[in-house]
Amino acid sequence: MSRYYVVTGAAGFIGSNIVAGLNARGVTNIIAVDNLKKGDKFRNLVDCEIADYMDKHDFIDSLRAGAFDGYVEAVIHQGACSNTMEHDGLYMMDNNYRYSVDMLEFCIQEAVPMLYASSAATYGASSVFVEDPRYERPLNVYGYSKILFDRILRQRWNELTAPVVGFRYFNVYGPREEHKAGAGSSVAFNCFHQFRKEGRVKLFEGCDGYGNGGQLRDFIYVEDVVQANLHFLDHATNSGIYNLGTGRAQSFNDVAAAVINTCREAEGKPALSLEGLQQAGLIEYVPFPDVLKGKYQSFTQADIGALRAAGYDAPFHDVATGVSKYCAKLLGAAG
């Protein structure tokens, strides 16, 4: 009897990279689940091999009807709305929270391992990024939808019949995010396209005590996210919720500099220091938007102690290396 890997959110950014990562190790017995109302996401799966594609709603109905009982090897649950500016709480809670509970119920019933996407948005206004309820202060309904499922999982540790592992993703960037262009895409993606279009990158002026473009985030390359997921798919023996970031906060200025210098080097121009980029007008600072005040994380840095203690010891790309690699791929795609 064939057993399948179920990847939800399979046509999305991280989900499609995980499908590609499974393919790279020879795994093609994959049920790809997503909602292609935004049809452009299909491009993320064009170069991937899967056994079947199912619409999210059809999949949930089939799951509840028992159609997958005995047929699933593991669930990699990435399906969620990740737009932190989405204000429709009814949609967010159904799509992120209830969907995750359905997957958990199935995995408990079938004794199937489950990996799922949580988020650093669960920390919100906190300045401490440790997997502990004391530091969970979401600033938006997206963060709340993620934290609520984490809390339900903690309540049900004793019911689990197979490992369930949640990853609190920090700021992920990399290939296959093109469909998210705009507010949902990464800083690196937006900087790249802005520089190609306008010949400069615009960053926010300073806020919360940080200088212009000096706000700090833990930026993680999607390749590292995939490798961590596949490691725990292979090796998880215990359940847990883990931060998945590099453990190092870097500035928006660092991201912009990596983007611009990669593009300059592709044109045969020398790399410039941050000061040189500023003086040349290649980085410009714009007023901080009123709509983001009180809802913005000016600093994130994953405490990855628990991740390391769980046995994951692979290195992570820093911004200079990861963003440069990403921009090279974007330049190649743009010809």
**Residues with catalytic roles:** 142, 180
Q: What distance in Å separates the CA atoms of residue 308 and residue 311, rounded to the nearest whole number? A: 5
- 52-62 per-residue burial string, b: 16 or more CB within 10 A, e: under 16: ebbebeebbee
Contact 48, 176 (CB under 8 A): no
Strand locations in the chain, DSSP E? 4-8, 30-34, 52-55, 72-77, 114-119, 164-169, 171-173, 201-204, 216-217, 219-221, 240-244, 250-251, 283-286
Q: What distance in Å separates the CA atoms of residue 326 and residue 192, rounded to the nearest whole number? A: 10
Contact 170, 300 (CB under 8 A): yes
What is the DSSP code string of 216-283? Answer: EE-EEEHHHHHHHHHHHHHH--S-EEEEES-S--EEHHHHHHHHHHHHHHHTTPPP--HHHHHHTTSE
Q: What distance in Å separates the CA atoms of residue 177 and residue 280, rounded to the nearest whole number? A: 30
Q: What distance in Å separates the CA atoms of residue 215 and residue 210, rounded to the nearest whole number? A: 6
Q: The tokens 């994951």 sit on which residue?
A: 312
Collect all residues with Cβ–Cβ distance below 8 Å to 1 and sequence separation of at least 6.
70, 71
Helix (H, G, I), strand (E, B) or coil at 66: coil
Contact 328, 262 (CB under 8 A): yes
Collect all residues with Cβ–Cβ distance below 8 Å to 331 and sequence separation of at least 6.
262, 263, 266
